[in-house]
């Protein structure tokens, strides 16, 4: 990491539901940078595979899909709670990428080395332009190791499951906390044990545990590092 202020390339990594997107979006707005949540690309490929009845475990087929599908991530065009638009061949699939069936399958899809190679290239190209807040699992370690500021945002699985559960209840879903916790733990396991680009803390990342901090407090901490 260099000591540029404000940092031009900001990488935010961490496990599912640690608050990365909320932090990234606030930071990008405050700095007038591009916000790019790379998880939506893995979600888009997962949704398209499911929609085409492709077995998500079939690496060759899912990789071919990732290579052939132009995925666009654009600033939110509607104020319906979305943080960005996800477009595939001009079709808006933003809310499809948030379906529980996508949550349940995206870790398998994102563990395929071929899928990662296809999407990483695109992520790196966008990130290297600078003035960007990029969010994911491997941004500081693999995609943009040259990032000027790296944040690893963490929280216990119980706390992350509680937040996810509250969000789902607020959206009117009929869910049970134990199930949400089991899913968070399963995604943690797959994301951190895969062979290619597993979730881990970059040696030069600033680690923030958000268990006892609200979104505003996390933002203030990171914003202070940008000044
Ligand atoms: O952050 P999210 O929940 O939208 O991420 C969806 C999945 O994509 C998650 O299982 C991890 C994976 N992912 C990844 O492997 N690398 C990234 N840079 C971003 C997400």
CATH code of the domain in which 36 resides = 3.40.50.300
Predicted confidence (pLDDT) per residue in 12-49, tens digit: 999 988 999 999 999 999 999 989 999 999 999 999 99
- Answer whether residue 153 shows pLDDT above 90: yes
Q: Is residue 3 part of a domain?
A: no
Number of domains in the chain: 1
Query: pLDDT category, 95, cuts 50, 70, 90?
Result: very high
Residue 136 near residue 18, CB atoms below 8 Å: no
Name the burial class of residue 210, with classes exposed (0-12), middle (13-18) and buried (19+) by CB atoms within 10 angstroms of its CB.
buried
- Pocket of ligand 1, candidates 22, 42, 144: which has the most ligand atoms within 8 Å of its Cβ, to mutate? 42
The radius of gyration of the chain from alpha carbons, rounded to an integer in Å, stands at: 17
Strand 84-88 versus strand 132-136 pairing type:
unpaired
Q: Is residue 83 part of a domain?
A: yes
Query: From the CA of 196, how far away is ligand 1's center (Å)?
Result: 13
What is the extent of the structural domain holding 20? 14-226
Q: What is the pTM of this model?
A: 0.91
Q: Is residue 6 part of a domain?
A: no
Query: pLDDT category, 70, cuts 50, 70, 90?
Result: confident
Is the beta carbon of 150 within 6 A of some atom in ligand 1?
A: no
Q: Is residue 1 part of a domain?
A: no
Residue 1: the pLDDT is: 59
Query: From the CA of 100, how far away is ligand 1's center (Å)?
Result: 14
């Amino acid at each position: 990491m260099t000591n540029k202020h404000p940092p031009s390339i900001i990488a935010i990594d961490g496990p599912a539901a640690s608050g990365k997107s909320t932090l990234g979006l606030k930071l990008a707005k405050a700095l007038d940078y591009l916000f790019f949540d790379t998880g939506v690309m893995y979600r888009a490929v997962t949704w398209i595979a499911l929609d085409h009845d492709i077995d998500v475990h079939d690496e060759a087929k899912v990789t071919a899909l990732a290579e052939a599908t132009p995925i666009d991530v654009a600033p939110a065009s509607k104020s319906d709670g979305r943080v960005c638009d996800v477009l595939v061949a001009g079709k808006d699939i933003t809310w499809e990428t948030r379906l529980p069936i996508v949550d349940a399958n995206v870790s398998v899809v994102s563990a395929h080395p071929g899928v990662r190679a296809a999407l990483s290239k695109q992520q790196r190209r966008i990130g290297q332009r600078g003035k960007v807040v990029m969010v994911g699992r491997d941004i500081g370690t693999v995609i943009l190791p040259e990032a000027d500021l790296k944040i690893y945002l963490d929280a216990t699985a119980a706390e992350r499951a509680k937040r996810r559960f509250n969000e789902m209840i607020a959206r009117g879903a009929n869910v049970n906390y134990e199930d949400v916790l089991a899913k968070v733990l399963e995604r943690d396991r797959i994301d951190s044990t895969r062979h290619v680009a597993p979730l881990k803390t970059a040696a030069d990342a600033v680690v923030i545990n958000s268990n006892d901090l609200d979104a505003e407090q996390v933002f203030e901490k990171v914003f202070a590092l940008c000044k």
